[in-house]
Amino acid sequence: MPFYLKETLYSQVELEKEWTETAVKLADKSSKEKASTKRQKLFANSYKKLLDRICIKDEPAVLDLGCGLGEINGVLKNQGLFVVNIDISLSSLRIAKLFYPQSNFLCADLSNIPFKKKTFDLITAISSLEFCFDKARILRVVKEKLKDNGRMYIEVRNNDFIVYGLMKHFFSFYKKKVFIKDYPAKDFQDLGYNEWIDLFRNSGLSVEKTYASARPWNYGSFETRIKNFIIMITKHLVPLKHHYMIGFVLKKY
């Protein structure tokens, strides 16, 4: 292999390592801040929307990627499903296990999911895929774990959020510090609406439906609540492709 290709490959490996370490560090730091029963109840109530969006009651085997504090279990635990929750943050999983002691939690990287092909009927990933370095590779890995008639529900941040456009010249500092939080990994960049759709299609996944985010917004610090208030207002005023977060129901080609 030519030297310049080796150097490029090394740079990519180092960059992916940096992204992974950053994700673990941030998740570990925020896990204790998010560990409240009130927050869990808010998410459980809000995530009830998923039952209608993806007919989740008919899916016997579910994999939740980047599960965080296990919020989705607040809805799934009483549905008679077999659910596996994966996250890269051990601190998050320990807290999640306190909230949902009967649920299955596994510490693993999304690029190395330790299950056989065609294991799951449904795979969910809410606010996790956007923080992965090689999203296309992860989607290919994840798709292999999905049964032929299985589906995915993915919610991601959207770089076409209308407020970003309004802030472009005047409020870049607020955008970085409040909405993006200046994610401290080199070359980090959120994707826009069409970029996400292209990524899914190029990974062999068709977009069946799109939805507004199922996440609740009435929680967090004063700063977070201001951000969430802006998100909620714009959610009712602009088309879906300009929302802060968007949910996609995906199916294998």
CATH value at residue 135: 3.40.50.150
Compute φ and ψ for 122, nearest 5 degrees. -140, 135
- pLDDT for 193-228, tens place per residue? 999 999 999 999 999 999 999 988 888 778 788 888
CA distance 120 to 221: 36
Residue 176 burial (CB count, 10 A): 13
Query: What pLDDT does residue 9 have?
Result: 45
Contacts of 35 (CB under 8 A, 6+ apart): 69, 95, 98
CA distance 244 to 236: 12
- pLDDT for 234-251, tens place per residue? 988 999 999 999 999 999
Q: Report how many domains make up the chain.
A: 1
Residue 149 burial (CB count, 10 A): 9
CA distance 119 to 162: 38
Number of H helices, E strands in the chain: 10, 7
CA distance 129 to 111: 11
Q: Average pLDDT, stretch 25-52? A: 88
> pLDDT band for position 3 (50/70/90)?
very low
Range of the domain at 105: 3-252
Strand intervals (E) in 116-172: 120-126, 146-157
> pLDDT band for position 7 (50/70/90)?
very low
Q: Which of 2-11, 18-27, 96-105, 111-120 has the lowest mean pLDDT?
A: 2-11
AA letter at 58: D
2 or 192: which carries more pLDDT confidence?
192
3-state DSSP assignment of residue 70: coil
Compute φ and ψ for 206, nearest 5 degrees. -95, 145
